[in-house]
Amino acid sequence: MFTPPSSDASVGQIVNVSRIDRWVIYHRLQELMIPCWCPADGSLRVEVNNSIAAVLVRSTVQQFVASRQELVEWLERCWRT
């Protein structure tokens, strides 16, 4: 199990997701070997150490917070590039 960093000097982004989605996101990030943990306050904390991890976290979270139309537009942009 991942131990959260002891440093309080962290930069973060807050995204509101339901507790059920947060649990699914947590497990998916674990599968991707991205360090993450759920503190007692019910939040999900993720440690992003490189650009690939950032893209994977963004993609994983977007599946739960974006509308279907936003996801379609994002996919179409990917196909054009």
pLDDT in tens, 8-36: 545 667 778 888 999 999 999 999 999 99
Q: Which pLDDT score, from 0 to 100, does residue 12 have?
A: 67
Q: Which pLDDT score, from 0 to 100, does residue 81 have?
A: 81
Q: ∠ CA(28), CA(23), CA(76), 5° rounding?
A: 50
Judge contact between 72 and 62, C-beta under 8 A: no
Q: Which pLDDT score, from 0 to 100, does residue 6 have?
A: 52
